[in-house]
Amino acid sequence: MCGIFGYVGVPRDTGEMVLDALRKLEYRGYDSWGVGVGVNGHIAVEKNIGKIGSSVLDLPLSSIGFGHTRWATHGGVTQANAHPHVDPSGRVAVIHNGIIENFRSLRAQIEAGGRALVSETDTEVVVHLVAAQLAGTCDPQRTVEIVGNVFEQLQGFNAIIVLDRATGTLTAVKNVSPLVIGRGIDGCYVASDQLALAEYATEIAFLEDRQIVQLDDDGARAFDLDTLRSLHLDWRAPTVKGYSAELSGYPDFLMKEIHEQPEVVRRVASELGGEAQQLAGEISDSYGTFFIGCGTASYAALTGSYLFSRIARRHVNFVVGSEFSYQEHFLTDRSLVCALSQSGETIDIIQSVLTAKDRGARIGALVNVEGSTLDRMADVSLHLKAGPELSVLSTKTYTAKVALLLLTAYALDGRMKEGEDLLLQAADVMEESLHPDATDRIRGLAGRFRVSRSLFAVGRGLSFPTALEAALKIKEVSYIHAEGFAGGELKHGVIALIEEGTPCLVFAPEDETYTDIISGATELKSRGGYIVGVSSRNDPVFDVHIPLADVGNASPLTTAIPAQLLGRELAVARGLDPDKPRNLAKSVTVK
């Protein structure tokens, strides 16, 4: 889940350029960071724990350098464990994304050879394995061979970049974990996400598995990992251009991206009808359709299963992405597996898709990042076009997924225009819910709930996935224990957790579930629950009413916003960073 970036080219303030790129990759991890540049016969390194913030470097000008922002897997959050890791001779440095599953045996092998490791990380074994074989040679091609040989010893999904000071090269190789190569006027680049290349690269190429690439001041050369035969990189124009991480007057990216949602939904309605028709055709032709996703994407997928039942009378299966590989046995060459992912790099999703492809299933994708691994693997890929999402919490890509699934369900039932009109209606209601008066009401609730031990969200039918997503938003950013439940399950154990003053977020749209969910809310209130009703009706059971106009099947789009705002306001009230919650990263590229 770490962010990595490297550069080789004309001499410049490479350290500051790398640090700026790492800020754009910090959504992948912000436990610690480090930058290394090759200069005057050694590798100069600066690294620190914590977020980058406004940090500045004191590194000399250089023509080669790289950097890393870390999400800790092996070893604590310490300066010694931060990347880059440099070998004792000072010739080789390594940065890494992934998990080396056999690092213990490799570490024991290195220590038995008399080399001392100074960190707790799995990454450091790569430095010693490469440096030991490079001693005595200054041939760039030999560096490629040695890095390839070492990489073959690593088990798991990994991406590494090796800086060899003696040859002035960066050598990069991957297995599943993403790497993007870029070239521009000043030199060549490599990163874990093309967002980091937007300001520099005029062309990009996605490195595939079993490929290894070497960058120097003459350009980028790719090789087959097995044969070391030269390969041509598939250069293309970047899909993210001129990207700038600007808040545009908002206090944080979470608030900015919450406010961008009405326009995202309008874009789905006006621009993605063709994509919805295409996916509807795939679903119609399949014998068994499966929606998979992780975290927030899983709740969008679960919502989709309800929408297809209600709108198109079509059964689709929902499976959590990280569990899907354990249920592969029912897949056939007539199955359709539709994967939902913001980044297109979520490792649990990629592994599930690989499993499905091995079974002959067709792959659909709802993905926000064009050119991502999932995008390239899919037989039919629908781009969400939600724009870059920098807050770790997913907001606008969640609503884009739900909107596109709703539109696809209407397309499958031959009612595309009805679906488009409903999305436009929902977008207007979403905009109304972001009026300052509405957000002030949410802020007042956050002030009341900020010291609460627990919060519960409940819904029935189409609102059940919304309750799950609301609870996730609140707990991941405010660190308040929050759980979402189906309203009918309260009496089967959950109600034992309710005590005087317990916040209960109740989703009560005007559908067939209304009477039952209000009955459940009454039961909660009789046990002391403080009831916050999200509904078009102000029922007497509500202690606080959050009004939302009824939009029928599009209710998951409108009801998501109060939960997102409550999570954000709770974080602020508790003095927390809304964009970078502890222990989390946005693109989960490790198992």
CATH number, residue 135: 3.60.20.10
Compute the distance between CA of residue 263 and CA of residue 270 in angstroms, rounded to an integer: 10
* DSSP state, residue 391: S
CA nearest to 196, candidates 20, 356, 412: 20
- Assess if residue 239 is contained within a domain: no
Last residue of a domain, one of 379, 411, 432: 432
The domain total for the chain is 3
Q: Which of 256, 396, 401, 586 is catalytic?
A: 586
As a dihedral over the C-alpha atoms of residue 62, residue 65, residue 71, residue 73, rounded to 10 degrees, the angle is: -130
Specify the pLDDT at position 149: 97
Distances (CA, A) of 532 to 68, 71, 522: 43, 36, 12
Residue 333, classed as helix, strand or coil, is coil
Specify the pLDDT at position 243: 52
- Assess if residue 241 is contained within a domain: no
Q: Could you list the residue range(s) of the whole structural domain that residue 571 is in?
A: 435-580
Task: Indicate if 333 and 472 belong to the same structural domain.
Answer: no
Task: Indicate if 35 and 72 belong to the same structural domain.
Answer: yes
Specify the pLDDT at position 274: 96
Q: Over the chain (591 residues), what is each successive 10-residue block's mean pLDDT?
A: 94 96 92 95 94 92 97 93 95 96 95 91 96 92 97 96 97 95 97 92 95 96 97 91 73 97 98 97 96 97 98 96 89 96 94 95 96 95 94 97 98 98 98 95 96 96 97 97 92 88 96 94 95 97 97 98 98 96 81 70
Task: Indicate if 440 and 401 belong to the same structural domain.
Answer: no
Task: Indicate if 107 and 146 belong to the same structural domain.
Answer: yes
- Assess if residue 294 is contained within a domain: yes
Task: Indicate if 428 and 439 belong to the same structural domain.
Answer: no
Specify the pLDDT at position 244: 54
Residue 44, classed as helix, strand or coil, is strand
For residues 379 and 354, is the Cβ–Cβ distance under 8 A?
Answer: no
Sign of the C-alpha dihedral computed for residues 191, 195, 199 and 205 taken in this order: positive
Q: Which of 2, 188, 294, 504 is catalytic?
A: 2
- Assess if residue 236 is contained within a domain: no
Task: Indicate if 222 and 175 belong to the same structural domain.
Answer: yes
DSSP element (H, E) containing 12: strand 3-12
- Assess if residue 376 is contained within a domain: yes
| 2 a catalytic residue | yes
Task: Indicate if 300 and 318 belong to the same structural domain.
Answer: yes
SS (H, E, C) 158-203: EEEEEEECCCCEEEEEEECCCCEEEECCCEEEEECCHHHHCCCCCE
Task: Indicate if 16 and 95 belong to the same structural domain.
Answer: yes
Task: Indicate if 440 and 453 belong to the same structural domain.
Answer: yes
- Assess if residue 31 is contained within a domain: yes
Q: What is the value of pTM for the model shown?
A: 0.92
Task: Indicate if 393 and 442 belong to the same structural domain.
Answer: no
* DSSP state, residue 113: T
Specify the pLDDT at position 45: 96
Last residue of a domain, one of 370, 402, 432: 432
Task: Indicate if 88 and 100 belong to the same structural domain.
Answer: yes
Residue 255's identity, in one-letter code, is: M
Task: Indicate if 454 and 425 belong to the same structural domain.
Answer: no
Q: Residue 507's domain is classified under what CATH number?
A: 3.40.50.10490
